[in-house]
Structure 1
Amino acid sequence: MSGTPDDPELEGIELDLFVEAMRRRHGYDFGQYAPASLLRRVRQLAKDFGDGAISALTHRLLHEPGLLPELLEGLSVPASDMFRDPSVFRALREQVLPLLASYPQITIWQAGCAHGEEVYSLAILLEEAGLYERSQIFATDLSAKALERAREGIYPLHTAQQWSRNYLAAGGNHSLADYYSARYGLLKLDRRLRRHVTFAQHSLVADAVFCEAQLVLCRNVLIYFCNPLQQRCLALFRDSLVRGGFLCLGLRERPDAAEAAADFAPVDASLRIYRRIDPAAGERRP
């Protein structure tokens, strides 16, 4: 009999076997993901791809390698919006970009970019600040399918109204419609917003530093990780940032997530924006 919510011990064993199969068969380690969140997603995948049994899903994982992209898509959390949490993007516009303007070349790493909504939001901020031509955005995600959708830059048109409100609340002084075309119930973002964006697959669990950057964004991803993996990610971001570089986390992250690391000082802790300091060089938190 397969494990069910009414049989938590057996279901826990099945989940452990699924995680082990994913690690040994495909090299993806979900062992440090928050257990409750991971269990919910694996349960849903078991319903979507089988008879609801995690053990049956594990069997397919082992014997059907072509299923992996779909599983990674389901295990990731690709939900987002353009200019999600407008106050954060307003702070980036007003407090961070003016300081990044001092660099001759600006590199930004968006880790866990999902379907790309926040990547294109960044591109618009840079465009309106006159910085996009000397900027490069690296947008990474675990899921190849999510990256494919992000590259397309095509979204349901019904999102446009809310996204337009977000854009204006984030300090936009044009119309969001200037950046997309609409047809057949879809909106397609202008190709010019993609000209300095590179999409690439990257695992925060297993892979090393992706690039050297002045700004790293990883919003509402760490909440799905256990504390040791959160600390690993913060170390990755620290090692990616130049001294004085900025880190932007999601509003759902613990407010002390980066402050607990000695290498970050808050710029605006309520908005989860931090700046890298170098304690070895005698820098101190403000």
Structure 2
Amino acid sequence: MTDPHDLAALEDLELDLFVTALDRRYGYDFSGYSRASLTRRVRNLNMQFGTPTITALTDLLLHSPERITEAISSLSVPVSELFRDPHTFRALKEKVFPLLSSYPSINIWQAGCAHGQEVYSLAILLVEAGLYERARIYATDISAKALARAREGIFPLQDARDAARRYLDSGGTKSLSDYYHARYDFLKLDERLISRVTFAEHNLVTDTVFCEAHLILCRNVLIYFTTPLQDRVLGMFAESLVRGGFLCIGTRENMQFASAREKFQLIDGDAQIYRRKSGT
């Protein structure tokens, strides 16, 4: 009978080889991701691809480059929804938008945009605040497949009722239905909402500063990273922001143990909104 400790140690070794293989073959570095989260996602990828072991999965991806896009999509895309955490969007509208309105042009970086729900949510509130036409949103993600879905702006219609409630809780002033067309079992958001959006691939683990931004949103991404990687990414965000610029991270995330925290002032603890200190 195989010792469970031996099996765990073997899986751990297989995971190390998997991470090394993806980095060396395709340039995707998952070494800084939370070990427990990455293990769960790789196990799910085994089931998805029908491979019995991580070693078999590694072999498949090394010799089938056409499958790597699908694999990266499964490994990297977090769950999201329109106007997720309404109190965060309300805080952005009430505490950040009035200060952004002083700029003649506004750069916003939505890092880890996944399927685009937060991009569209933000765009709607910017439209209602009269700021959208002077804003440019850079929506980035590691997954090309996720970016393609984000560009489509198509989501299940069954989510519309809950999304409409969250929209109003976020400070929305109209009806969410004003911004989409329903057909069959899906809703398609108005393409005008991405007329000021640039979608691009960007890897937070290995890439550098993407743009000079007045506002950066990176919500529910850092929780999948180890502490050293979180610190690196937060430092990059500080470097990306103009002085006095804003950063919004996930409600389950914080800067408590990051060295970059010295560069930020907390604006709203519940919404996890920070402002880059002018003197840094």
Q: TM-score, normalised by structure 1?
A: 0.94
Structure 2: 5+ residue stretches without partners: none
TM-superposed deviation, 1:269:
1.8
TM-superposed deviation, 1:270:
2.2
1:50 aligns with 2:50: yes
Cα 1:146–1:31 change in 2 (3 A) is same
Structure 1 equivalent of residue 178 of structure 2: 178
* Residue aligned with 1:7, SS: helix
**1:255–1:272 contact (8 Å) kept in structure 2:** no
1:164 aligned partner, one-letter code: A
CA distance in 2, matches of 1:81, 1:204: 21
Cα 1:257–1:198 change in 2 (3 A) is farther
1:34 aligns with 2:38: no
CA distance in 2, matches of 1:99, 1:251: 22
**1:259–1:266 contact (8 Å) kept in structure 2:** no
Deviating more after overlay: 60-69 vs 252-261: 252-261
* Residue aligned with 1:174, SS: coil
2:210 aligned partner, one-letter code: F
TM-superposed deviation, 1:4:
8.3
**2:77–2:146 contact (8 Å) kept in structure 1:** no
**1:3–1:11 contact (8 Å) kept in structure 2:** no
Cα 1:195–1:115 change in 2 (3 A) is same
TM-superposed deviation, 1:105:
0.1
TM-superposed deviation, 1:78:
3.2
Structure 1 equivalent of residue 146 of structure 2: 146
Alignment of 1:171-210 (within 5 A): 171-210=171-210
Cα 1:65–1:4 change in 2 (3 A) is farther
Structure 1 equivalent of residue 236 of structure 2: 236
CA distance in 2, matches of 1:3, 1:164: 52
Alignment of 1:1-286 (within 5 A): 7-254=7-254, 256=256, 261-280=261-280
Determine what percentage of the aligned residue pairs are the same residue.
61
CA distance in 2, matches of 1:156, 1:95: 31
CA distance in 2, matches of 1:251, 1:99: 22
CA distance in 1, matches of 2:201, 2:257: 25
1:240 aligned partner, one-letter code: S
* Residue aligned with 2:262, SS: coil
CA distance in 1, matches of 2:5, 2:185: 39
Cα 1:4–1:105 change in 2 (3 A) is farther
Structure 1: 5+ residue stretches without partners: 281-286
**1:4–1:11 contact (8 Å) kept in structure 2:** no
TM-superposed deviation, 1:52:
3.0
* Residue aligned with 1:261, SS: helix
Instruction: Provide the aligned length of Structure 1 versus Structure 2.
Output: 279
TM-superposed deviation, 1:271:
1.4
CA distance in 1, matches of 2:186, 2:220: 26
CA distance in 2, matches of 1:269, 1:257: 15
What is the CA deviation profile of residues 82-136 of structure 1, one whole-angstrom value per residue up to 9, with x for unaligned ones? Answer: 1100000000011100000000000100000000000001100110000111000
* Residue aligned with 1:138, SS: strand
CA distance in 1, matches of 2:201, 2:5: 33
* Residue aligned with 2:211, SS: coil
CA distance in 2, matches of 1:5, 1:160: 47
TM-superposed deviation, 1:36:
0.3
CA distance in 1, matches of 2:3, 2:104: 57
CA distance in 2, matches of 1:69, 1:3: 36
**1:3–1:53 contact (8 Å) kept in structure 2:** no
CA distance in 2, matches of 1:182, 1:65: 37
CA distance in 1, matches of 2:248, 2:240: 13
RMSD (CA atoms): 1.7
CA distance in 1, matches of 2:130, 2:196: 14
* Residue aligned with 1:262, SS: helix
* Residue aligned with 1:29, SS: coil
What is the CA deviation profile of residues 153-179 of structure 1, one whole-angstrom value per residue up to 9, with x for unaligned ones? Answer: 001101101110100000111100000
TM-superposed deviation, 1:47:
1.2
* Residue aligned with 1:52, SS: coil
